[in-house]
Chain A
């Protein structure tokens, strides 16, 4: 088992009232799964993903990730944990505008203190694998949306994470581009055994996954 959520609650106080963003979420995810999270806008999909990615906190419940009790961990350990095991892919790519494709890919490795030679090899490998060698010296603004997301995925993968969290990765892409990304996810999942959790609005994309989790008003249905 990769991770387990037990009775997770998250709320905000608004006008003296508790507004629940997540309500009593129970979830177990095993290594190698490919999960799609679905639900109407505002139902709490991004919130759930952020909680799983340890970018956001929750107010009640237990969260275990690879034998670690995340709810008991200090901020610092938590960030070490996600740094090590989790890669993020965003709807709006979130590439660093001032860096080239190559430098963007290299960034997570720098933060993990890989040696220079190792970094070069890993970046070259990734560029190769994603077929973007020709674009390595371009800046994000010089790429199409699909290409930017490709770089985003490559960056999420470069440090060999166990889990990839993707929040509407194809939200800004046309159908052909999204298909390419989905195929890529599938390949990663099947061939490399990477666990993937994606949020999506499209049934077609959701079908790539092995399991679908539906949310409504912060509750699993």
Chain B
């Protein structure tokens, strides 16, 4: 019986070649992209899930109250973690962790590696297995380190580098360390990512901060004892906070901060390590949001929906051609169930074929996909039994619904009606609903594309307040003292007329090729109020190099010897000081006993942080006691490529052993919205695919509608209708559906995109034109798709169509 069914199903698919092909192509495309997108999303969601103790691991943070609301601090002071373990019950393990780069020297090799200064308990908390060496205690003593297999290979040319001695440049010194453990490479889906683990006590600021509760520079992770809940733990830290943060609490109270709901000014809290990747702290409360991966999953789902809607529509419409067949079969004694199985098998064949093709195609497209979407996901990430089972169930459900529904409709037809070719089930109602939903999706995706691209263009073109086209920033990743390097670069490039100016700072603008970003914020008292400012250490010629605009006073200058006690502030900082009248008269004592710093200049606000962020108060210092980490070099607008090469050559003479990773600031700025760009690529390709699929569906529908209405078209022509009036007649119905889709889709898209844009301090205005553009595009595409077929039908000779009677 089954064999017979399969035979008939196969014949039927062959008979309707065009539609079968349209369906298989559509479904295959949809499954391919859905698989790739789902892979990407599931990869994101799998972040940090590989730790065996993941349900009991937390990062400690503090939420503190200010007069402007609450703020989150993740950084902790050196004595914090040991004291917490000592004084608060419920902690099984606790570890400090500080990520940075470190220069590793082995024989004549110098490598800049991602480093993590760690307490040894880190390896009991997290699952980073040891392959060679000391498994239970990877960091044996203060002078041993653990490195990954990858790093070992790079340094020693072998995976097993146990016992070898390397020198690390820590601060201004080089110190020897011996490798005591080799770690398995850190998986891609890990938030912590390092090549080398160094005992925490070796950090250059460790000794000076050992008992200092006020300097905070690292994260603290802990594992709770079994049975201890987060609430219990947070509650039991209250006394600890009162004791150790007494001064801070008092000053917050004095500044007029309002206590939180529990009447506290500083509260220690725990963030689950599984949520780390998705947590944002911008608003002063911890927000865990997995919106991007879920949005991607949503797009994958929508694409499958569009393809399935096509499938359902075509099958129902084709069913009409088979009414006589159904009637005949029924009179011959077929029962509902048999007919259902027969039709359903046909669907199943199409789906199975498409899914198999989809898997093959997605595997082939994996590499380009990973580059395009900037993802490290692999199919291996999806090979967990739960995901596979879910996927299988999902596909079965889709096949059952999309394939089964038309089958059900057809098999339930009344025999007599079927024989007469009558079908009264409001089938066009369902068809119209599906087409409208398809176009709602298409319009949402198109307007999303337009707005995302608009926002990216906006961020790219926004005047950031500094010259990003002509300035190269170079991460100072070599061995030499940073001030010395900048001085040498200046000398080296002196004769070159295209090099306009050289300076440096301890922070980058945008995101450089070293990928790191840091923020340094300082709080102090001024006229009885607690103020906060971002701080940066800069070199001479800073404003000149970056084309920063001076509003009042002067920049640091070699002609004034006392400039190490001077400050240059931005306009936002002037407001923070509340000294708008005469900012240059401002004097500040940062510590009660110390000397006064004075404001010597005010610069216009510029976006020293990401474009998406508001411009915060900023204070620049010139202080040789603090290292610089980036050199800035301004070049002339002409001969830019040659200038870049000249800079590269100069670097190689100054720092022959360090890789040159300088880049123009506009590239750096672009890098800061990489996530947006990736999302824009995903939405754009999603919407293109959505449109293509909708068009395949529309085209097939127009074929069927034309076939259905051949007789009518013939009659109309014979009694005098013109080609254009018939085309309009046939196309109008589809355009109406697009119109309805526009009305339904626009508010949804508006709401979602408006919410999204609110995340950006600077964003494009959400103009109606984005949506009108999207609607117009959808209508135009629909018109072209349907129009080509209908014009042909309308122009055909009516005698032929009437003869079909």
Contacts and interface: CB of A to CB of B under 8 A. Distances in A.
B722 A79 contact: yes
Interface string A83-122: 1000010101011110000000001100110000000000
A194 B716 CA distance: 23
B721 interface: yes
A95 B725 CA distance: 18
Given A90-B802, A94-B711, A96-B712, A55 B719 contact: no
Nearest to A55: B799
Interface string B787-805: 0000000000111001001
Contact of A94 (B718, B720, B722): B718
B721 A55 contact: no
B224 to A, nearest CB: 72
Interface in B363-392: none
Given A94-B715, A96-B712, A96-B715, A108 B805 contact: no
B720 A111 contact: yes
Nearest to B712: A96
Contacts, number: 40
A95 B802 CA distance: 12
A96 B805 CA distance: 13
Interface residues of B, number: 17
Contacts of B719: 88, 107-108, 111, 155
A50 interface: yes
Nearest to A75: B795
Nearest to A83: B720
Nearest to B721: A111
Contacts of A107: 716, 719
A111 B728 CA distance: 13
The listed residue with most A CB atoms (<10 A of its CB), out of B711, B720, B797, B805, is B720
A159 B718 CA distance: 13
Nearest to A158: B719
Contacts of B799: 50, 55-56
Contact of B718 (A88, A92, A97, A112): A88
Contact of A55 (B711, B722, B797): B797
A88 B799 CA distance: 12
A95 B711 CA distance: 10
B420 to A, nearest CB: 11
Interface residues on A, range: 10 to 19
Interface string B714-752: 111111111001000000000000000000000000000
In this complex, which of B717, B718, B725 has the most chain A Cβ atoms within 10 angstroms of its Cβ? B718
A82 B712 CA distance: 18
A92 B798 contact: no
A155 B716 CA distance: 12
Interface string B686-720: 00000000000000000000000001101111111
A108 B720 contact: yes
Nearest to A94: B715
Given A56-B797, A96-B715, A111 B802 contact: no
A130 to B, nearest CB: 17
Interface string B340-355: 0000000000000000
B802 A94 contact: yes
Nearest to B714: A94
Contacts of B717: 79
Contacts of A90: 802
Contacts of B711: 94
A86 B718 CA distance: 10
A96 B721 CA distance: 13
Contacts of B797: 55-56
Contacts of A112: 720
A111 B715 contact: no
Nearest to A99: B712
A94 B713 CA distance: 11
A55 B718 contact: yes
Nearest to A97: B712
A185 B721 CA distance: 25
A50 B721 CA distance: 17
Nearest to A53: B718
Nearest to A47: B799
Given A50-B799, A90-B802, A94-B718, A111 B712 contact: no
Contacts of A83: 720
B805 A92 contact: yes
A108 B715 CA distance: 10
Nearest to A56: B799
Nearest to A112: B720
Interface in A65-85: 79, 82-83
Interface in A42-68: 50, 55-56
A109 to B, nearest CB: 9
Residue from B714, B715, B719, B799 having most chain A Cβ neighbours under 10 A? B719
A174 B805 CA distance: 20
Contacts of A96: 712, 715-716
Contacts of A159: 720
16 contacts: A55-B797, A55-B799, A56-B799, A79-B720, A83-B720, A88-B718, A90-B802, A94-B711, A94-B718, A95-B715, A97-B712, A107-B719, A108-B720, A111-B719, A111-B721, A159-B720
Given A56-B799, A79-B720, 5 more contacts: A55-B798, A88-B718, A96-B715, A111-B721, A111-B722
7 shortest interchain CB distances as A-B pairs = A83-B720, A111-B720, A108-B719, A55-B799, A94-B715, A111-B721, A56-B799
